[in-house]
Protein backbone atom coordinates (compact mmCIF):
# COMPACT_ATOMS: atom_id res chain seq x y z
CA UNK A 1 0.00 0.00 0.00
CA UNK A 2 1.28 3.45 -0.75
CA UNK A 3 0.13 6.84 0.54
CA UNK A 4 -0.91 7.77 -2.99
CA UNK A 5 -4.01 5.67 -2.50
CA UNK A 6 -4.75 7.04 0.93
CA UNK A 7 -7.78 9.20 1.57
CA UNK A 8 -6.66 12.78 2.11
CA UNK A 9 -8.00 14.46 5.24
CA UNK A 10 -9.16 18.04 5.38
CA UNK A 11 -7.64 19.12 8.69
CA UNK A 12 -9.53 22.39 8.99
CA UNK A 13 -12.75 20.62 8.07
CA UNK A 14 -12.16 17.97 10.73
CA UNK A 15 -11.56 20.64 13.39
CA UNK A 16 -14.68 22.54 12.40
CA UNK A 17 -16.82 19.44 12.45
CA UNK A 18 -15.45 18.45 15.83
CA UNK A 19 -16.06 21.85 17.38
CA UNK A 20 -19.63 21.79 16.11
CA UNK A 21 -20.24 18.34 17.57
CA UNK A 22 -18.63 19.33 20.88
CA UNK A 23 -21.04 22.18 21.40
CA UNK A 24 -24.06 19.88 21.61
CA UNK A 25 -25.81 20.26 24.92
CA UNK A 26 -26.60 16.93 26.58
CA UNK A 27 -28.52 17.45 29.82
CA UNK A 28 -30.67 15.78 32.47
CA UNK A 29 -31.95 12.25 31.62
CA UNK A 30 -29.99 11.97 28.39
CA UNK A 31 -26.86 12.99 30.28
CA UNK A 32 -27.41 10.33 32.94
CA UNK A 33 -27.99 7.75 30.23
CA UNK A 34 -24.83 8.80 28.39
CA UNK A 35 -22.82 8.70 31.62
CA UNK A 36 -23.97 5.16 32.41
CA UNK A 37 -23.09 4.10 28.89
CA UNK A 38 -19.66 5.74 29.06
CA UNK A 39 -18.96 4.02 32.39
CA UNK A 40 -19.76 0.69 30.77
CA UNK A 41 -17.30 1.44 27.94
CA UNK A 42 -14.25 2.10 30.08
CA UNK A 43 -11.10 0.03 29.89
CA UNK A 44 -9.90 0.78 33.40
CA UNK A 45 -6.20 1.14 32.90
CA UNK A 46 -3.03 1.01 34.92
CA UNK A 47 0.17 1.05 32.90
CA UNK A 48 2.92 2.25 35.19
CA UNK A 49 6.36 0.82 35.69
CA UNK A 50 5.65 0.80 39.41
CA UNK A 51 2.42 -1.25 39.15
CA UNK A 52 2.23 -3.90 41.86
CA UNK A 53 0.01 -6.96 42.24
CA UNK A 54 -1.77 -5.10 45.04
CA UNK A 55 -2.53 -2.14 42.80
CA UNK A 56 -3.90 -4.42 40.06
CA UNK A 57 -6.07 -6.33 42.55
CA UNK A 58 -7.42 -3.06 43.88
CA UNK A 59 -8.21 -1.87 40.36
CA UNK A 60 -9.96 -5.16 39.55
CA UNK A 61 -12.08 -4.79 42.67
CA UNK A 62 -12.96 -1.27 41.63
CA UNK A 63 -13.95 -2.51 38.15
CA UNK A 64 -16.91 -4.39 39.54
CA UNK A 65 -17.60 -2.19 42.60
CA UNK A 66 -17.45 1.30 41.16
CA UNK A 67 -19.43 2.95 43.93
CA UNK A 68 -21.28 0.44 46.05
CA UNK A 69 -23.29 3.03 47.96
CA UNK A 70 -25.03 3.96 44.70
CA UNK A 71 -26.84 0.90 43.31
CA UNK A 72 -27.61 0.32 39.65
CA UNK A 73 -24.24 1.26 38.20
CA UNK A 74 -22.80 -0.84 35.37
CA UNK A 75 -19.34 -2.43 35.51
CA UNK A 76 -16.51 -1.20 33.33
CA UNK A 77 -15.83 -3.19 30.15
CA UNK A 78 -12.29 -4.33 30.83
CA UNK A 79 -9.12 -3.93 32.85
CA UNK A 80 -6.03 -2.98 30.88
CA UNK A 81 -2.64 -3.98 32.35
CA UNK A 82 0.92 -4.91 31.50
CA UNK A 83 1.60 -8.55 30.46
CA UNK A 84 3.09 -9.60 33.81
CA UNK A 85 -0.10 -8.56 35.59
CA UNK A 86 -2.47 -10.60 33.38
CA UNK A 87 -2.66 -13.72 35.63
CA UNK A 88 -3.37 -11.57 38.69
CA UNK A 89 -6.07 -9.59 36.89
CA UNK A 90 -7.60 -12.72 35.41
CA UNK A 91 -7.88 -14.33 38.84
CA UNK A 92 -9.26 -11.21 40.51
CA UNK A 93 -11.92 -10.75 37.84
CA UNK A 94 -13.18 -14.36 37.83
CA UNK A 95 -16.95 -14.50 37.55
CA UNK A 96 -17.44 -10.77 36.98
CA UNK A 97 -17.72 -10.93 33.18
CA UNK A 98 -15.12 -8.16 32.92
CA UNK A 99 -12.47 -8.73 30.29
CA UNK A 100 -8.73 -8.59 30.81
CA UNK A 101 -6.86 -6.60 28.21
CA UNK A 102 -3.10 -6.69 28.06
CA UNK A 103 -0.78 -4.39 26.19
CA UNK A 104 1.83 -6.27 24.20
CA UNK A 105 4.42 -6.00 21.41
CA UNK A 106 6.99 -4.04 23.44
CA UNK A 107 4.50 -1.44 24.64
CA UNK A 108 4.74 1.56 24.54
CA UNK A 109 7.57 2.00 22.02
CA UNK A 110 7.13 -1.11 19.89
CA UNK A 111 10.91 -1.25 19.56
CA UNK A 112 11.56 -4.98 19.48
CA UNK A 113 12.00 -7.56 16.79
CA UNK A 114 8.95 -9.31 15.41
CA UNK A 115 9.59 -12.68 17.03
CA UNK A 116 9.89 -11.14 20.49
CA UNK A 117 6.60 -9.34 19.90
CA UNK A 118 4.84 -12.50 18.75
CA UNK A 119 6.16 -14.45 21.75
CA UNK A 120 4.84 -11.78 24.06
CA UNK A 121 1.42 -11.90 22.43
CA UNK A 122 1.28 -15.69 22.65
CA UNK A 123 2.25 -15.60 26.31
CA UNK A 124 -0.41 -13.04 27.31
CA UNK A 125 -3.06 -14.96 25.40
CA UNK A 126 -1.98 -18.17 27.14
CA UNK A 127 -2.13 -16.35 30.45
CA UNK A 128 -5.78 -15.61 29.76
CA UNK A 129 -5.93 -12.14 28.22
CA UNK A 130 -9.23 -11.64 26.37
CA UNK A 131 -7.98 -8.62 24.49
CA UNK A 132 -4.55 -7.62 23.25
CA UNK A 133 -3.52 -4.00 22.74
CA UNK A 134 -0.58 -3.89 20.34
CA UNK A 135 1.44 -0.89 19.21
CA UNK A 136 2.44 -0.40 15.59
CA UNK A 137 6.06 0.29 14.62
CA UNK A 138 5.79 4.04 14.18
CA UNK A 139 9.41 4.38 13.07
CA UNK A 140 8.84 1.98 10.19
CA UNK A 141 5.52 3.62 9.36
CA UNK A 142 7.03 7.09 9.18
CA UNK A 143 9.87 5.77 7.02
CA UNK A 144 7.26 4.51 4.56
CA UNK A 145 7.65 0.79 5.29
CA UNK A 146 3.91 0.27 5.20
CA UNK A 147 4.14 -3.36 4.11
CA UNK A 148 6.24 -4.20 7.16
CA UNK A 149 3.73 -2.55 9.50
CA UNK A 150 0.84 -4.28 7.80
CA UNK A 151 2.49 -7.71 7.90
CA UNK A 152 3.36 -7.22 11.53
CA UNK A 153 -0.26 -6.50 12.46
CA UNK A 154 -1.43 -9.53 10.45
CA UNK A 155 1.03 -11.81 12.26
CA UNK A 156 0.08 -10.44 15.67
CA UNK A 157 -3.56 -11.03 14.78
CA UNK A 158 -2.72 -14.61 13.97
CA UNK A 159 -0.89 -15.02 17.29
CA UNK A 160 -3.92 -13.60 19.13
CA UNK A 161 -6.16 -16.53 18.21
CA UNK A 162 -9.57 -15.87 19.73
CA UNK A 163 -8.43 -12.80 21.67
CA UNK A 164 -9.56 -9.45 20.33
CA UNK A 165 -6.82 -7.34 18.81
CA UNK A 166 -6.68 -3.59 19.37
CA UNK A 167 -4.11 -1.78 17.30
CA UNK A 168 -2.59 1.33 18.87
CA UNK A 169 -1.58 3.84 16.21
CA UNK A 170 0.05 6.28 18.67
CA UNK A 171 -1.35 9.20 16.73
CA UNK A 172 0.72 11.70 18.71
CA UNK A 173 3.76 10.42 16.81
CA UNK A 174 2.08 10.21 13.41
CA UNK A 175 2.02 14.01 13.13
CA UNK A 176 -0.63 14.51 10.44
CA UNK A 177 -4.25 13.45 10.09
CA UNK A 178 -3.38 12.00 6.66
CA UNK A 179 -1.00 9.61 8.42
CA UNK A 180 -3.68 8.77 10.99
CA UNK A 181 -6.09 7.87 8.23
CA UNK A 182 -3.52 5.81 6.39
CA UNK A 183 -2.50 3.94 9.55
CA UNK A 184 -6.16 3.29 10.37
CA UNK A 185 -6.86 1.84 6.93
CA UNK A 186 -3.74 -0.22 7.11
CA UNK A 187 -4.55 -1.64 10.55
CA UNK A 188 -8.12 -2.54 9.59
CA UNK A 189 -7.03 -4.20 6.35
CA UNK A 190 -4.49 -6.24 8.29
CA UNK A 191 -7.15 -7.62 10.64
CA UNK A 192 -7.52 -5.28 13.63
CA UNK A 193 -10.72 -5.75 15.67
CA UNK A 194 -10.31 -2.33 17.24
CA UNK A 195 -8.18 0.66 16.38
CA UNK A 196 -6.90 2.71 19.31
CA UNK A 197 -5.45 6.20 19.32
CA UNK A 198 -2.66 6.21 21.85
CA UNK A 199 -0.58 4.53 24.48
CA UNK A 200 -1.16 7.36 26.91
CA UNK A 201 2.63 7.78 27.17
CA UNK A 202 2.94 10.36 24.38
CA UNK A 203 1.42 13.81 24.26
CA UNK A 204 -0.85 14.73 22.52
CA UNK A 205 -2.86 11.57 23.11
CA UNK A 206 -6.47 11.25 21.95
CA UNK A 207 -7.69 14.50 20.42
CA UNK A 208 -11.15 14.99 18.89
CA UNK A 209 -9.95 15.58 15.27
CA UNK A 210 -7.84 12.42 15.40
CA UNK A 211 -10.75 10.39 16.76
CA UNK A 212 -13.05 11.79 14.08
CA UNK A 213 -10.56 10.84 11.37
CA UNK A 214 -10.35 7.29 12.71
CA UNK A 215 -14.15 7.02 13.00
CA UNK A 216 -14.51 8.08 9.37
CA UNK A 217 -11.96 5.45 8.38
CA UNK A 218 -14.06 2.84 10.23
CA UNK A 219 -17.21 4.07 8.48
CA UNK A 220 -15.59 3.80 5.04
CA UNK A 221 -14.17 0.38 5.89
CA UNK A 222 -17.63 -0.85 6.80
CA UNK A 223 -19.06 0.51 3.58
CA UNK A 224 -16.34 -1.31 1.65
CA UNK A 225 -16.23 -4.65 3.47
CA UNK A 226 -19.33 -4.80 5.69
CA UNK A 227 -17.12 -5.39 8.75
CA UNK A 228 -17.63 -3.38 11.90
CA UNK A 229 -14.37 -2.34 13.49
CA UNK A 230 -14.26 -0.98 17.05
CA UNK A 231 -12.71 2.27 18.24
CA UNK A 232 -10.82 3.10 21.40
CA UNK A 233 -9.64 6.61 22.18
CA UNK A 234 -7.13 6.53 25.03
CA UNK A 235 -5.05 8.99 26.96
CA UNK A 236 -6.04 12.45 28.10
CA UNK A 237 -9.73 11.64 28.55
CA UNK A 238 -10.32 12.51 32.17
CA UNK A 239 -13.69 14.21 32.32
CA UNK A 240 -17.27 13.11 31.83
CA UNK A 241 -17.78 16.07 29.52
CA UNK A 242 -15.10 14.87 27.10
CA UNK A 243 -16.55 11.36 27.22
CA UNK A 244 -20.00 12.63 26.26
CA UNK A 245 -18.53 14.66 23.42
CA UNK A 246 -16.94 11.49 22.05
CA UNK A 247 -20.25 9.65 22.34
CA UNK A 248 -21.91 12.38 20.28
CA UNK A 249 -19.14 12.05 17.72
CA UNK A 250 -19.60 8.26 17.35
CA UNK A 251 -23.37 8.52 17.12
CA UNK A 252 -23.09 11.14 14.38
CA UNK A 253 -20.33 9.39 12.46
CA UNK A 254 -21.06 5.68 12.85
CA UNK A 255 -24.58 5.43 14.27
CA UNK A 256 -26.26 3.60 17.14
CA UNK A 257 -24.48 0.27 16.59
CA UNK A 258 -21.24 1.67 17.90
CA UNK A 259 -22.80 2.93 21.14
CA UNK A 260 -21.85 -0.32 22.82
CA UNK A 261 -18.79 -1.62 24.68
CA UNK A 262 -18.45 -4.22 21.94
CA UNK A 263 -17.45 -1.52 19.46
CA UNK A 264 -16.35 1.44 21.52
CA UNK A 265 -14.07 1.79 24.53
CA UNK A 266 -12.42 4.54 26.50
CA UNK A 267 -8.90 3.86 27.70
CA UNK A 268 -8.69 5.81 30.92
CA UNK A 269 -7.78 5.69 34.58
CA UNK A 270 -9.32 8.78 36.16
CA UNK A 271 -12.38 9.04 33.87
CA UNK A 272 -14.45 6.55 35.89
CA UNK A 273 -14.35 8.68 39.04
CA UNK A 274 -15.30 11.85 37.20
CA UNK A 275 -18.27 10.10 35.60
CA UNK A 276 -19.32 8.74 38.98
CA UNK A 277 -19.14 12.23 40.45
CA UNK A 278 -21.33 13.53 37.63
CA UNK A 279 -23.87 10.73 38.06
CA UNK A 280 -24.12 11.48 41.78
CA UNK A 281 -24.40 15.19 41.05
CA UNK A 282 -27.35 14.47 38.78
CA UNK A 283 -28.98 12.30 41.40
CA UNK A 284 -28.33 14.32 44.59
CA UNK A 285 -28.18 17.81 43.09
CA UNK A 286 -24.91 18.54 44.91
CA UNK A 287 -21.48 18.89 43.37
CA UNK A 288 -19.31 16.02 44.55
CA UNK A 289 -15.83 15.76 46.01
CA UNK A 290 -13.06 13.29 45.15
CA UNK A 291 -12.76 12.68 48.90
CA UNK A 292 -15.76 10.37 48.76
CA UNK A 293 -14.66 8.16 45.86
CA UNK A 294 -12.05 5.45 45.56
CA UNK A 295 -8.52 6.48 44.78
CA UNK A 296 -7.58 5.54 41.23
Which range touches another protein (CB under 8 A), out of 151-159, 166-174, 199-207, 287-295? 287-295
Rule CB under 8 A: say whether 290 interacts with another protein.
Answer: yes
Is residue 232 flagged as an active site residue? yes
Rule CB under 8 A: say whether 291 interacts with another protein.
Answer: yes
What is d(CA 15, CA 131) in angstroms, rounded to the nearest whole number?
A: 31
- The residue from 2, 23, 69, 289 that contacts another protein (CB under 8 A) is 289
Nearer to another protein, 72 or 285 (CB): 285
In the complex, least distance from residue 289 CB atom to another protein, rounded to whole angstroms: 4
CA 191 to chain centre: 17
Rule CB under 8 A: say whether 288 interacts with another protein.
Answer: yes
- Going by the DSSP 8-state scheme, the letter that residue 55 receives in this structure is H
SS3 per residue for 142-193: HCCCHHHHHHHHHHHHHHHCCCEEEEECCHHHCCCHHHHHHHHHHHHHCCCC
Rule CB under 8 A: say whether 285 interacts with another protein.
Answer: yes
Which range touches another protein (CB under 8 A), out of 20-28, 158-166, 215-223, 281-289? 281-289
Is residue 196 flagged as an active site residue? yes
In the complex, least distance from residue 280 CB atom to another protein, rounded to whole angstroms: 9
Closest of 106, 181, 121 to residue 155, by C-alpha: 121
Q: CB under 8 Å to 188, separation ≥6 — which residues? A: 195, 217, 218, 221, 227, 229
In the complex, least distance from residue 94 CB atom to another protein, rounded to whole angstroms: 35
Is residue 133 flagged as an active site residue? yes
Cβ of 52: how many Cβ atoms within 10 Å? 12
Q: Check 130, 133, 185, 274 and give the catalytic one.
A: 133
Q: By CB under 8 A, how many residues form the interface with another protein?
A: 8
- The residue from 69, 113, 286, 295 that contacts another protein (CB under 8 A) is 286
Nearer to another protein, 96 or 288 (CB): 288
CA 248 to chain centre: 16
Q: Check 43, 62, 196, 274 and give the catalytic one.
A: 196
165 touches 193 (CB < 8 A): yes
Cβ of 225: how many Cβ atoms within 10 Å? 11
Rule CB under 8 A: say whether 287 interacts with another protein.
Answer: yes
Residues annotated catalytic, as ranges: 133, 196, 232
The residues that touch another protein, with contacts defined as CB under 8 A, are: 285-292
Amino acid sequence: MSPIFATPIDQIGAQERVSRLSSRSIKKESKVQALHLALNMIDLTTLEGKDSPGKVKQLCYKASHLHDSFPGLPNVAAICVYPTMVPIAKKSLEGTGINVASVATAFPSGMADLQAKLDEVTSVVDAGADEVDMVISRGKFLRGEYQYVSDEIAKVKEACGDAHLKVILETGELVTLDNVRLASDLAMDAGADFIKTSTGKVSPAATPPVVLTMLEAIRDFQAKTGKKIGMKPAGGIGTAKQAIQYLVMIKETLGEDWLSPNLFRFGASSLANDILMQILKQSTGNYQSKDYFSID
